[in-house]
Structure 1
Amino acid sequence: MDAISEIVAIENIGKLVSGDINRPILDADTILIRDGKIAEIGWKGEIDVESAKTRIDAMRQVVTPGFIDPHTHMVIGDWTPIQKAIGWMEGALLAGVTTMISQGENNIGGLPMDPVGNKALAILAAKTYKKYRPGGFLKVHGGALMLVEGLTEQDFKEMAEAGVWLIAEIGGCGLYKPKDVVPMVKWARKYGFKVSAHLGPVSIPLSAPLMADEIIEIDPDLAVHVNGGSTSVPFSEVKKLVDDADFHLEAVFNGNPRAAVEMVDYMRKKDALNRLVIGSDTPTGNGMIPVAILRMVVQIASLNRLPAAEVIAAATGNTADTFGLNVGKIEVGREADIIILDRPAGSQGRDALEAIEIGDIPGTTLIMVDGQIVALRGRDTRQTAGCVKINGVERKITTMEDYLWGPWKFAIDRLI
């Protein structure tokens, strides 16, 4: 596709998932995109789509916001030293993750633990990912600052001016005791930072145990891997966070699956699903999983017997609300980061949402960022029952070579 200034229409939508957990499915079948943002949402005939250069026929499939992964441990560039793998971030993009957020670049070799080194690393990562999009499209918010001894209020002011706005999960590395970090959290908030803290025992060298009372005292915007990272805590700790706090709570794919089921069930009982956020916690010693967010959506919807559209909101709009991002919802004025999902071939579900609810992993038939088509499917997503039409022509992968090896992105011009 050309520049994001072109007009794009997505039509013939079967179900339009909003990303808003309070209104999970929108009563509409058409989206008009202008200048990379959602301009209109409505029904066929209500929206003028004739001016659109690119018209995408969703073929009655499910349309959702692009997924947001709020828990990654990147370094600099699209590689990970843990698995010695290149391209893991692009792999996530091709599985529907259109925005990625750092919880600390603590996988980098020679990790600095002094104030000057930490500032430098956070600024470098923030500035690097502001300009660099893995896979050409993935929006990455890097540069999450670890709290270390010696940081001053002036440091937070300087980092904010340099584009740093994230505090890496407290307890992951660096200082973690409330008496040490609470003053820094106040400075961070003064300059617009978002703050995360992890619940659980020690997980890696330099990490520290944090339990519910300590996290409540720190009062972050997000408590991460509440279902374990990857080892879980007694369920009484989880209940305390649900009952006695109001910040968002994250369940991660690289956590304890049974603890996730119990956590989500309790949050539903307490009418607190608007605080649920889904993350991956990758890459870690538990692996890099490009489809982690999608698989976590399937896990929660099927095992907790929740409507898939509500769980998708926990992987999109709830996360956007936590971090104040203009993505994650199908809403006028939001950045047009959108995916089209279909049931996997042979599923008993009649569409992607029903497939998710019975535990089948759906596939992508189109991934879009800022109104631009990224790919039809990812390397690790399922063969779908259907496909999309672009400007009246069916676009689908038919050969085994294309299914296994591409085209996903780099040959997209031959498909559209």
Structure 2
Amino acid sequence: MSDMLLRNVGAILSGSLTEPTIDAGSIDVRDGVIEEIGATTTSAETVIDVRGTTVAPGLVDAHVHPVAGEYTPRQDTIGWCESYLNSGTTSMVSAGEIHHPGRPTDAEGLTALATLNRKSYDNLRPSGVKLHAGTLILSDDMTVDDIVAVHESGVTQTKIIFAIEDLDHARRLVDRAKDLGMVTMMHSGGSSVPGTRPIDEEMFKAIRPDIALHFNGGPTALPDEEWRAIVEDTSIDLELVVAGNQRTSLEILRTMADRDELDRLQIATDTPTGTGVVPCGMWLEAGILASLTEVSAPEILALMTGVPARRHGLDEGRIEEGRPADLCLLDAPQGSAADDAVDAIENGDYPAVDTVIVDGEVAVKTSANTGPAKRPAVVE
């Protein structure tokens, strides 16, 4: 891998809630890793003049539904990961491969499906996106031994989407997964597809997974009194998605900001689903939340990058020395009233995704999905 120097940086969004911005004018990258922020070097094999614009971590979409490679039968679409990469998403986490044609519903089939997807995507970066797949869907006939076996095969995530009848049994499965260090997730709100049942406050308090997925609805939100009770009575982390109820999303964000608990939130798309393939879904959600609440765009960006990455044990998502150089060069789009990317997001606009870098290599130069930057970077 070649060395890279980003110079004339206008702003750095760190991906951290505790320090959302970094005051530095350059970033040195070596062998795909961030070597120095505020670099003293003046040359590299690749030099990018950022021209006073914004550098942010590549987005981490922690709620996608892959099936095979870049094909999704849910929308009969090929190449969807490449389009998300063009929007700045460099890493993804599967919330279950539930759209697999003929998807099994028994423990034997579900463990096999999770193992297959884990091993498949370990060998594949679709269009260069780092896709962490193989999420075990829990079922009524599953045992704690099944959890152990699938963990030994490399699976690191579990999910409840189909309501398990015996809540004590569900809690035992989730507790065993937690003991093994697996990330446990659960659908929240109304039924998402025929054949499923709503998952409500009672189930969350009984099972207590790590993350309440699409807490603002996937697509139907919990009643306000139920989600508020989960916020107040548990420490479960919460996810906001573009494929959900935006009134509820705003209320949840304001509530968590008032409680000084933004670190319990993450932002994702929950796509591809019936909502569609939404390559700019993360930016759409960011614009809604930043323009209609008091939470700043740099904090919103952290909920789309460093926070979900930490939750899932990923090295990506932060601009920090020693971390992978997965970066987005952002600006206000041409024609925007905003002066820079932060202003654009807080105005409710998509930022212009000018350049996307993965492991220190330029993966996208000028996004096919956003408006062009007012100050496009120059690769020298």
Q: TM-score range by the shorter chain?
A: over 0.9
Distance 1:206 1:188 in 2: 25
Which of 13, 17, 23 is 2:19 aligned to? 23
> Do 1:160 and 1:192's aligned partners in 2 also have CA atoms closer than 8 Å?
no
Distance 2:163 2:257 in 1: 34
Distance 2:225 2:163 in 1: 26
> Do 2:286 and 2:300's aligned partners in 1 also have CA atoms closer than 8 Å?
yes
Question: Which position in structure 2 is the counterpart of 1:96?
Answer: 88
Q: Aligned-residue CA RMSD in angstroms?
A: 1.5
SS at 2:28 equivalent: strand
1:155 and 2:146 matched: yes
Distance 1:324 1:219 in 2: 20
Distance 2:106 2:300 in 1: 40
Q: CA deviation at 1:378?
A: 2.7
Q: CA deviation at 1:343?
A: 0.4
Q: CA deviation at 1:246?
A: 2.1
Question: Which position in structure 2 is the counterpart of 1:260?
Answer: 249
Question: Which position in structure 1 is the counterpart of 2:309?
Answer: 320
Which of 168, 192, 196 is 1:179 aligned to? 168
Q: CA deviation at 1:211?
A: 1.8
1:48 and 2:37 matched: no
Q: CA deviation at 1:177?
A: 4.8
Which of 133, 136, 143 is 1:142 aligned to? 133
Gaps of 5+ in 1: 392-416
| 1:300-319 alignment runs, 5 A limit | 300-319=289-308
Question: Which position in structure 2 is the counterpart of 1:117?
Answer: 109
Q: CA deviation at 1:193?
A: 1.1
Question: Which position in structure 2 is the counterpart of 1:237?
Answer: 226
Distance 2:324 2:65 in 1: 24
1:225 and 2:221 matched: no
Q: CA deviation at 1:340?
A: 0.6
The 1:247–1:324 alpha-carbon spacing in structure 2 relative to 1, beyond 3 Å, is farther
1:248 and 2:248 matched: no
Distance 2:320 2:48 in 1: 18
Question: Which position in structure 2 is the counterpart of 1:280?
Answer: 269
Distance 2:251 2:143 in 1: 40
SS at 1:23 equivalent: coil
> Do 2:257 and 2:295's aligned partners in 1 also have CA atoms closer than 8 Å?
no
Q: CA deviation at 1:176?
A: 6.2
Question: Which position in structure 1 is the counterpart of 2:31?
Answer: 35
Between 1:236-245 and 1:181-190, the stretch displaced more is 236-245
Normalised to the residue count of structure 1, the TM-score between the two structures is 0.88
Distance 1:284 1:91 in 2: 16
Distance 1:230 1:79 in 2: 22
Distance 2:166 2:92 in 1: 27
Q: CA deviation at 1:291?
A: 0.6
Distance 2:270 2:165 in 1: 19
Q: CA deviation at 1:7?
A: 1.6
1:164 and 2:160 matched: no
Distance 1:22 1:206 in 2: 42
SS at 1:267 equivalent: helix
The 1:68–1:176 alpha-carbon spacing in structure 2 relative to 1, beyond 3 Å, is farther
**Letter of the structure 2 residue corresponding to residue 384 of structure 1:** A
Which of 64, 68, 79 is 1:87 aligned to? 79
Question: Which position in structure 2 is the counterpart of 1:205?
Answer: 194
Distance 2:215 2:101 in 1: 27
> Do 1:202 and 1:208's aligned partners in 2 also have CA atoms closer than 8 Å?
yes
| 1:183-194 alignment runs, 5 A limit | 183-194=172-183
Question: Which position in structure 2 is the counterpart of 1:106?
Answer: 98
Q: CA offsets per residue over residues 170-190 of structure 1, 9 Å max, x none?
A: 1x2363653221111122122
Aligned residue pairs total 380
**Letter of the structure 2 residue corresponding to residue 155 of structure 1:** D
> Do 1:73 and 1:282's aligned partners in 2 also have CA atoms closer than 8 Å?
yes
Gaps of 5+ in 2: none
| 1:347-386 alignment runs, 5 A limit | 347-386=336-375
**Letter of the structure 1 residue corresponding to residue 133 of structure 2:** G
SS at 1:200 equivalent: coil
> Do 2:3 and 2:45's aligned partners in 1 also have CA atoms closer than 8 Å?
yes
> Do 1:113 and 1:174's aligned partners in 2 also have CA atoms closer than 8 Å?
no
**Letter of the structure 2 residue corresponding to residue 376 of structure 1:** K
SS at 2:222 equivalent: coil
Distance 1:247 1:34 in 2: 38
Normalised to the residue count of structure 2, the TM-score between the two structures is 0.96
SS at 1:286 equivalent: coil
SS at 2:256 equivalent: helix
Distance 2:166 2:93 in 1: 24
